[in-house]
Structure 1
Amino acid sequence: MEKHISHKFDEDLEQIKNMVLKMGGVVEQQIADAVKAVETADSDLAEKVIRVEDEVDLKEVELDEACTSVLACRQPAASDLRMVLAITKMTRDLERMGDEAQKVAKMAIALQESGSKGYEEARHIGALVQKMVNTVLDAFARFDVEQALEVARTDKEVDREYKSAMREIVTYMMEDPRAITRSMNILWTLRAIERIGDHARNIAEHVIFLVKGLDVRHTSLQEIERRISNI
């Protein structure tokens, strides 16, 4: 990003960038713990995930206030304005990731209370989504469009894996009605994890907007790649 005559302005922008990365780090750990909790039916770890959600909500409010202050006091233009706007949107997606992680954690608690085993089905999709979250935070830290595109590509893989798992689980339910309750719980768990991936892709799109000035929301991956290559 460009440097300014006002060092305080640069410090303000750097501060809100660091606040996003700190919030992202908390959410990233929350997701990892939630997936592990549901795999192992670990209610203690799940309770930790739920408690952390209050911290995530607080960070969202703090970031909103910091962005509002920069907009009001500095009246940024061009790339600086894109920076603040992108961060406000990213913050919202990070908070919603935390909400989905909380849903997964609650499923882990229900598992433990029912005496059931963990959902191994969550392992593969969970690993893909955790990779997306880690990569997109790094993409933002580095203003790296190629990393942002990699997140969008991985999201397509997550969607395929989710649909495949859904078909298998529905077939399993039809063959054994006794497995309906467990199967539905797995579906809800996988759905929450898949939604985290969607929010990671949203953040990737915000990074592209920040760096390239392109609004690529509701745009296919192929079209995003084409538009970037034409710049």
Structure 2
Amino acid sequence: MSEHTIKRYEDELNELKETVLSMGSLVEKAVRRSMKSLIEQDAKRARKVIERDRAINSLEIEVDEMTRNLLALRQPAAGDLRFIITTIKIVTDLERSGDLAEAIAEAMLQTEDHPLTHTDSLHNLADKAILQLQQALDCFAHGDADLAMAIIESDKKVNTLFKSLQRENLTYMMEDHRQITSGLLAYSIGKNLERIGDHAVNIAEMVVYMVRGQDVRHSSYKKAAALVAEDEQTKA
């Protein structure tokens, strides 16, 4: 492969990475804006989140095209192949997270008629889910497998917060039937946030694969950590 071809190939890989990160940035902003629209009861902001989901979808299609071309024309191997496979998986999680942000914005519009009265737990869950998403994008950007493993471990906290939200809303609905509609909306928003956290974990798992070559999907954190440790010992 000539020096010119190698340079062009490196540029194509970098362009793919930057496009994925651009998509991730849009998704992160969509989640933040959907929650801000809820906190501030800003219907205009919520509608913008819904409208801008098309930009996220467009970037997913663009990444798909880029990866197809790289696989067909460059026949990547080893680390480059793992990187491309990772981007294919990641954009699916990002696109779905964008859909979940859109769903939160749509739920916000419903709260205009059914205001949420107890939101502290929801805000705590949102903060944690957004942090997970932000860190997942950071670990992909920097190839940081240690941060990726920390994100996988932190998923238990998000799940605990969501379960607490469920119990709390059920209590309010049982005590006052007038809280049922708003409680169901809060549950729906909370479930969307919990799923965004799950997608962040999926991204982190793929980063571990990209960096370490270990597939830790569908494994407990303990088992995933053992796999990574075993791989490090083998390479030592």
**TM-score bin, normalised by smaller chain:** over 0.9
| Gapped regions of structure 1 (runs ≥ 5) | none
* Alignment partner of 1:37 is 2:9: no
Measure how far apart 1:94 and its partner are.
0.2
Distance 1:106 1:36 in 2: 13
* Equivalences for residues 80-229 of structure 1 within 5 A: 80-112=80-112, 114=113, 116-117=115-116, 120=119, 121-229=121-229
| SS of the residue 2:178 aligns to | helix
Percentage identity across aligned positions? 35
> Which stretch shifts more, 176-185 or 187-196?
176-185
Q: Distance in 1 between matches of 2:90 and 2:172?
A: 38
**Cα contact 1:40–1:119 (8 A) shared by 2:** no
**1:115 & 1:78 partners in 2: Cα distance?**
53
Alpha-carbon separation, structure 2, partners of 1:101 and 1:5: 40
Residue 26 in 1 paired to residue 18 in 2? no
What displacement does 1:40 show?
2.3
Distance 1:61 1:118 in 2: 40
SS at match of 2:11: helix
Distance 2:45 2:116 in 1: 15
Residue pair 2:33, 2:46 contacting (<8 A) in 1 also: yes
- Aligned pair in 2 of structure 1 residues 74, 34: CA closer, same or farther (>3 Å)? same
Q: Distance in 2 between matches of 1:4 and 1:101?
A: 42
8 Å Cα contact 1:139-1:148 kept in structure 2: yes
Amino acid of the structure 2 residue aligned with 1:135: Q
CA contact (8 A) 1:53 1:102 kept: yes
2:23 and 2:116 map into 1 onto residues whose CA distance is 32
**1:42, distance to aligned residue in structure 2 (A):** 1.3
Counterparts of 2:35 and 2:151 in 1: how far apart (Å)?
Answer: 19
Letter in 1 for 2:224: I
Q: How many aligned residue pairs are there?
A: 228
**Structure 2 length-normalised TM:** 0.93
Could you say what secondary structure the match of 2:224 adopts? Answer: helix
Q: Deviations over 1:99-158 (max 9, x none)?
A: 00000000111112x162576242100000111111111101110011111211221100
Deviations 1:6-44 (A, max 9, x none): 111111111101111111111111110011112222111
Distance 2:16 2:4 in 1: 16
Correspondence 1:49 to 2:38: no
C-alpha separation between the residues in 2 aligned to 1:41 and 1:192? 18
Q: Which runs of 5+ in 2 are unaligned?
A: 232-236
- Secondary structure of 1:211's counterpart equals helix
2:6 matched to which residue of 1? 6
**Shift in Å, 1:4:** 10
